[in-house]
Amino acid sequence: MLTTRKSPGCEDARVTPVHFFMRACVLCLLSQGALAATPPDAGPPVEAPRAARDAAGAPPAALACLAKWYPVLTPVRLDAGWGFTLPDGRAHPFDDGQQKSFPRKLEAPDLEDTLSIAYVAGPIAPVTREDEDPGRIRFEPLFEAMYGDAKEKVDVVPLVFLGQRLKVHRKVAPAFQRVAARLEALVAKDASLKPFLQGVGGTFVWRNIAHTTRRSAHSYGVSIDLNTARSHYWEWQRPRLPVRWRNAVPQALVDAFEAEGFIWGGRWYHYDTMHFEYRPELLDAACAPAR
């Protein structure tokens, strides 16, 4: 038989005179009601920590990180989730929700796609996994907003880079100068590095990537090609396929560039070992998208 548990005070009432019995039960019932109800002067409920309250309204960490490196980008809430606006007023989704092949990401990326392949610095190693090309995916509207959407709008300034006069974007000139200082110190200790840094292949050139309609990073004045005679490029290999990774650029040079926010084309399956490109977001762990 099912039984219900009684409160201790009411259980003792059966051995009490009637008037005490009635009084005890009334007090018992009142006390139970008081426990069940919220006192009118109890005050507001205790709030959760602010970090917990704000988490649901904060943009994805990767998007916030990108806004740090690209201040032209403003995270905003869109109907379909988080996105961002650019200075021209256009709004874009951070993640368009589409499943894409690597070629599709190259041709029609959202901003999250540009972070979808992790860039790993450190010891140089052959890249053998097909389409492991961190940094080759670029969201062109962001680059246009940050650096200029036409040749005459790209604000380039002259730069002396290890004795060679180059043109780079004004916004990244300080990073190029810091790299140059690192490289000069390296060459002073090891003269064998110097040939890689002579006769550089170029910095600012408004053009498309070979055999594509996508704009080259050189168009924005944010990249540099080292001495082509000392470099390897997958398009130059014969036969052209299958891709067979090759490199001769020393570790010390790669380390110097990466220390200042430049990625290296030698980290790509479609290798381009002369190429360094200012992409600090890919070297910032905070910009890695959540998985």
**Complete DSSP assignment for the chain:** ----PPPHHHHGGGGS-HHHHHHHHHHHHHHHHHHHSPPTTS-SPPPPPHHHHHHTTSPPHHHHHHHHH-TT-EEEEETTEEEEE-TTS-EEES-------HHHHHHS--TGGGGSS----SS-----STT--TT----HHHHHHHH-SSGGGS-EEEEEETTEEEEEETTTHHHHHHHHHHHHHHHHH-GGGGGGGSSEEES----BPTTSSSBPGGGGT-EEEEEGGG--BGGGSSS--S--------HHHHHHHHTTTEEEGGGSSS-BTTEEEE-GGGG-GGGSPP-
Q: If the chain, 291 residues long, is cut into consecutive pieces of 10 residues, what is the mean pLDDT of each piece?
A: 39 35 37 39 38 63 97 96 97 96 97 97 97 98 98 97 96 98 98 96 93 95 97 95 97 98 98 98 92 57
Nearest to 230 by CA among 256, 249, 251: 249
Predicted pLDDT at 3: 39
Predicted pLDDT at 289: 83
Q: pTM of the full predicted structure?
A: 0.80
Classify residue 174 by burial, with Cβ atoms within 10 Å: 0-12, 13-18, 19+.
Answer: exposed
Is the backbone of residue 132 left (phi > 0), alpha (psi -120 to 50) or beta?
beta
Predicted pLDDT at 47: 37
Which residues, other chains included, contact 133 with Cβ-Cβ below 8 Å and sequence gap of 6+?
102, 117, 268, 269, 270
Predicted pLDDT at 41: 38
Q: How far is CA 20 from the centre of its chain?
A: 74
d(CA 245, CA 228): 16
Which residues, other chains included, contact 224 with Cβ-Cβ below 8 Å and sequence gap of 6+?
161, 166, 168, 176, 200, 201, 202, 203, 275, 276
Asked if 60 and 290 touch (Cβ cutoff 8 Å), the reply is yes
d(CA 79, CA 72): 21
Asked if 254 and 124 touch (Cβ cutoff 8 Å), the reply is yes
